[in-house]
C-alpha cells in the first residue's frame, strides 16, 4: 500500500535523523505518541499543521539574513525576502494591520522590539534633541549614555501577575522589569474582572509611558477601546500583547471593541498558541512606529530565522482560510462548555466562567495546591499547568489554580460533548487527590496522595475519549 505525502515526509525525515543520532529520532517519535495519547489542555499549546512543521525543516535554516526585505546585510537572501514578505503580507491582511514585522523568535522578543521601538520614538532627552537623531542605529555612545539615564525613569502600567498578566509586562524577574518603573492594575476582588475605572485612576496617578493590555490567564474579553481612551488621557502609548488570543482575533471571534488591532498603537503576539503556527513572535503597528519596529534586528534580536518565517507564512495563509473562523469559534464554544461542566460539578472558576479560550480553576476548594493538582492530573493523562489566582495565598510557585485551555483539543476535533466528559475526568482526579503530610506532620504543598488504580482508570478513559479524534491522522510512522 502506498503511503500518503505526510507519512512519507515524516518517515523519511526520521530515517535520515536516525542514521546520525537514533536517540533524537526516538524522542521525536515518542513525543508524537505521547501527544496522541494525552488530553492536552495547556492553554498556550496547540498542534501545528504538517505543512507548517515541514516548512521549518529545510535549507532556509542555513541562511543569515540580518536586515529587512530588500535591505539585507548579507548577499543571497532573495528567497528569504520572498518568504518574509509573504508572512508579513498574510499578517497584514489577516489582522487588518498597516505594518507587520515577522522576525521575532518568541513572544518576549516581540515585546522587546515593541518596548524599544516605543522608547526610541518617544525619548526626549536633551542629548538626543541636540543631536536630532531618532533612529536607534544612528545613536552615538554619548547618545546611548543619555538614553540609559533617561530609561531609569520610564514607566509601564500592566496587568498584575496574579490577575492574569504576564512576566514580560514589567515584572522584576524579566528584563522589562529592569527597563521600566512598573506598576500593576488588578481585577475586582469580588468578580475577578478588570475595573476600567480603577485602571484609569492608576494611569492618572502613575502617568505611564506605556499602558499594556493583554494576558496569559484572564478568562474574559478586554475592551480595547476603553483602554485606548485611558492611554490617550495620560499621553501613554497603548500596547496590546495578544499572544494568547491572536487566533480569536484572526478568526473574527473578537471584533469591534474587543479587537486590539484598530485600537492599539502597537500589538505583539506569538504565532503558536491559538493561532496554530510555529513557535515564534510578531509585531503589528501603524506607519508611525514601522521604521523603529523594523530595526528589531539588530536592536534586540539576533539573526532572523528564515525557516521559521517560512512556517509563519504557511500558518498565516492557513488562518486566512474560511474554516479557520469556524475553528476559532469552536475554541470558545468548547471553553465555555468545559467551564459549565466544571461549574456543575462544584469547581470554583475565576470570574465564574470564560469568554475566550481558557478557564482558570481556583482549586482551593479541593484542598490542594496548583502544584499538587497539576501533577495528579498528569499522572491521569491530563496535561495542564498550575497558575496563580487573584490574591493567591500560595504564591506563584505552588499556586492555588490550574489553567486549562481548548485550542489543542479543538484542533483534534473534540466538541462540547467531549468537554463535559473532560470536566468529569478533571473533577474525578481533583476530588480524589489529597495532600500528603511532611515529616513534621504539616500538610505538604507539593506531595499528594492519589490512588494509582484511579489514575490508571482516568488515563484510560482519557485515551478512550481521544480514540475518535486521532492526532495527525495522515501521519503514519509505523
For residue range 178-214, list pLDDT tens digits in order. 777 889 999 999 999 999 999 999 999 999 999 999 9
**Residue 128: predicted pLDDT:** 46
| Pair 132, 266 in one domain | yes
Tell me, yes or no, whether 458 lies in a domain: yes
pLDDT in tens, 353-406: 999 999 999 999 999 999 999 999 999 999 999 999 999 999 989 999 999 999
Please give the grid coordinates belonging to residue 201: 485612576
pLDDT band at 124 (very low <50, low <70, confident <90, very high): very low
Tell me, yes or no, whether 302 lies in a domain: yes
Segment 23-51 shows an average pLDDT of 95
| Pair 292, 271 in one domain | yes
pLDDT for residue 98 is more than 80: yes
**Rounded CA separation 311/279 (Å):** 9
pLDDT band at 1 (very low <50, low <70, confident <90, very high): low
- From 319, 345, 373, give the residue that closes a domain: 319
**Rounded CA separation 286/393 (Å):** 42
Segment 78-100 shows an average pLDDT of 98
Please count the other Cβ atoms lying within 10 Å of the Cβ belonging to residue 354: 24
| Pair 336, 273 in one domain | no
Q: Locate cell 499543521: which residue?
A: 49
| DSSP secondary structure code for residue 2 in this structure | P
| Domain range for 123 | 59-105+112-151+213-319
Q: How many domains does the chain have?
A: 2
**Rounded CA separation 13/411 (Å):** 24
Nearest to 272 by CA among 40, 93, 81: 40
| Pair 455, 360 in one domain | yes
| Pair 392, 455 in one domain | yes
**Rounded CA separation 36/22 (Å):** 21
Q: Are 218 and 403 in contact (CB under 8 A)?
A: no
pLDDT in tens, 331-354: 999 999 999 999 999 999 999 999
Q: Active-site residue numbers? A: 64, 66, 241, 270, 273, 279
**Residue 141: predicted pLDDT:** 65
Listed in sequence order, the residues at least 6 apart from 46 whose beta carbon sits closer than 8 Å to its beta carbon are 272, 273, 274, 275, 276, 407, 408, 411
Q: Locate cell 523594523: which residue?
A: 294
Q: Where are the beta strands (DSSP E) in 103-180?
A: 155-159
Percent of the residues in the chain that have a pLDDT greater than 90, as a whole number: 81
| Pair 404, 267 in one domain | no
| Pair 245, 380 in one domain | no
SS3 264: coil
Tell me, yes or no, whether 170 lies in a domain: no
Nearest to 55 by CA among 304, 307, 281: 307
Backbone angles phi, psi at 68, to 5 degrees: -130, 180
pLDDT for residue 443 is more than 50: yes
Segment 259-272 shows an average pLDDT of 97
Q: Are 267 and 92 in contact (CB under 8 A)?
A: no
Distances in Å between the Cα of 456 and the Cα atoms of 62, 94, 460 are 45, 44, 6
Least confident of 81-90, 376-385, 434-443: 434-443
Segment 278-302 shows an average pLDDT of 93
85-90 own/partner pairs: CB under 8 Å, 24+ apart: 86/313, 86/317, 87/309, 87/310, 87/312, 87/313, 87/316, 90/313, 90/316, 90/317, 90/319, 90/320
SS3 120: helix
Tell me, yes or no, whether 82 lies in a domain: yes
Higher pLDDT among residues 297 and 165, named by residue: 297
Tell me, yes or no, whether 33 lies in a domain: no
pLDDT band at 123 (very low <50, low <70, confident <90, very high): low
Report the CATH number that the domain containing residue 429 is assigned in CATH: 3.90.1150.10
| Pair 338, 424 in one domain | yes
Please count the other Cβ atoms lying within 10 Å of the Cβ belonging to residue 85: 16
- Mean pLDDT over all residues of the chain? 91
pLDDT for residue 119 is more than 90: no
pLDDT band at 258 (very low <50, low <70, confident <90, very high): very high
- From 319, 352, 387, give the residue that closes a domain: 319
| Pair 66, 118 in one domain | yes
Higher pLDDT among residues 357 and 298, named by residue: 357
- From 319, 350, 366, give the residue that closes a domain: 319
| Pair 248, 378 in one domain | no
Report the CATH number that the domain containing residue 117 is assigned in CATH: 3.40.640.10
| Pair 310, 340 in one domain | no
pLDDT for residue 127 is more than 60: no
pLDDT for residue 442 is more than 90: no
Tell me, yes or no, whether 32 lies in a domain: no
pLDDT band at 146 (very low <50, low <70, confident <90, very high): low
**Residue 62: predicted pLDDT:** 94
Segment 122-131 shows an average pLDDT of 50
Please give the grid coordinates belonging to residue 78: 532573495
**Rounded CA separation 108/120 (Å):** 18
CA dihedral 220, 221, 224, 225 (to 10 degrees): -120
pLDDT for residue 151 is more than 70: no
Tell me, yes or no, whether 183 lies in a domain: no
Is the sign of the CA dihedral 455, 457, 459, 462 positive or negative?
negative
**Residue 298: predicted pLDDT:** 86
Backbone angles phi, psi at 132, to 5 degrees: 55, 45
Percent of the residues in the chain that have a pLDDT greater than 70, as a whole number: 93
**Residue 257: predicted pLDDT:** 97
pLDDT for residue 30 is more than 90: yes
**Residue 299: predicted pLDDT:** 85
| Pair 305, 447 in one domain | no
Segment 273-278 shows an average pLDDT of 96
Amino acid at each position: 500500500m502506498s503511503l500518503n505525502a505526510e507519512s512519507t515526509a515524516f518517515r523519511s525525515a526520521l530515517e535520515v535523523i536516525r542514521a546520525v543520532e537514533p536517540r533524537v529520532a526516538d524522542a521525536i517519535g515518542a513525543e508524537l505518541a505521547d501527544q496522541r495519547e494525552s488530553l492536552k489542555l495547556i492553554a498556550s499549546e496547540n498542534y501545528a499543521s504538517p505543512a507548517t512543521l515541514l516548512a521549518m525543516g529545510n535549507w532556509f535554516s542555513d541562511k543569515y539574513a540580518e536586515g529587512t526585505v530588500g535591505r539585507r546585510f548579507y548577499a543571497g537572501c532573495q528567497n528569504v525576502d520572498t518568504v518574509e514578505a509573504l508572512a508579513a503580507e498574510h499578517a497584514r491582511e489577516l489582522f487588518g494591520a498597516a505594518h507587520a514585522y515577522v522576525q521575532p523568535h518568541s513572544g518576549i522578543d516581540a515585546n522587546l522590539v515593541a518596548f524599544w521601538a516605543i522608547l526610541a520614538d518617544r525619548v526626549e532627552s536633551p542629548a538626543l534633541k541636540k543631536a536630532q537623531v531618532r533612529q536607534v542605529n544612528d545613536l552615538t555612545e554619548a547618545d546611548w549614555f543619555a538614553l540609559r539615564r533617561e530609561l531609569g525613569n520610564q514607566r509601564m502600567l500592566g496587568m498584575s501577575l496574579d490577575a492574569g498578566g504576564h512576566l514580560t509586562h514589567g515584572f522584576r524577574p524579566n528584563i522589562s522589569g529592569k527597563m521600566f518603573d512598573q506598576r500593576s492594575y488588578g481585577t475586582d476582588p469580588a468578580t475577578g474582572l478588570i475595573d476600567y475605572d480603577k485602571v484609569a485612576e492608576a494611569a492618572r496617578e502613575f502617568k505611564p509611558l506605556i499602558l499594556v493590555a493583554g494576558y496569559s490567564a484572564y478568562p474574559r474579553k478586554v475592551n480595547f477601546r476603553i483602554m485606548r481612551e485611558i492611554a490617550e488621557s495620560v499621553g501613554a502609548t497603548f500596547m496590546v500583547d495578544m499572544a494568547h488570543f491572536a487566533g480569536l482575533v484572526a478568526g473574527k471571534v473578537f471584533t469591534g471593541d474587543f479587537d486590539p488591532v484598530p485600537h492599539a498603537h502597537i500589538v505583539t503576539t506569538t504565532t503558536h498558541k491559538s493561532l496554530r503556527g510555529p513557535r515564534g513572535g510578531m509585531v503589528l503597528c501603524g506607519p508611525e512606529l514601522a521604521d523603529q519596529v523594523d530595526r528589531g534586528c539588530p536592536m534586540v534580536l539576533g539573526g532572523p530565522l528564515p525557516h521559521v518565517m517560512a512556517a509563519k507564512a504557511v500558518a498565516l495563509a492557513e488562518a486566512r482560510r474560511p474554516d479557520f473562523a469556524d475553528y476559532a469559534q469552536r475554541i470558545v464554544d468548547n471553553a465555555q462548555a468545559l467551564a459549565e461542566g466544571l461549574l456543575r460539578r462544584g469547581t470554583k472558576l475565576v470570574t465564574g466562567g470564560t469568554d475566550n479560550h481558557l478557564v482558570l480553576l481556583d482549586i482551593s476548594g479541593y484542598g490542594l495546591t496548583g502544584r499538587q493538582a497539576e501533577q495528579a492530573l498528569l499522572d491521569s493523562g491530563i496535561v495542564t499547568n498550575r497558575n496563580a489566582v487573584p490574591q493567591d495565598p500560595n504564591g506563584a510557585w505552588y499556586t492555588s489554580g490550574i489553567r486549562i485551555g481548548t485550542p489543542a483539543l479543538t484542533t483534534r476535533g473534540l466538541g462540547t460533548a467531549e468537554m463535559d466528559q473532560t470536566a468529569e475526568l478533571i473533577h474525578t482526579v481533583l476530588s480524589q487527590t489529597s495532600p500528603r503530610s511532611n515529616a513534621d506532620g504539616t500538610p505538604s504543598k507539593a506531595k499528594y496522595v492519589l490512588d494509582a488504580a484511579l489514575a490508571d482508570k482516568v488515563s484510560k478513559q482519557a485515551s478512550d475519549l481521544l480514540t475518535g479524534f486521532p492526532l495527525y491522522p495522515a501521519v503514519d510512522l509505523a
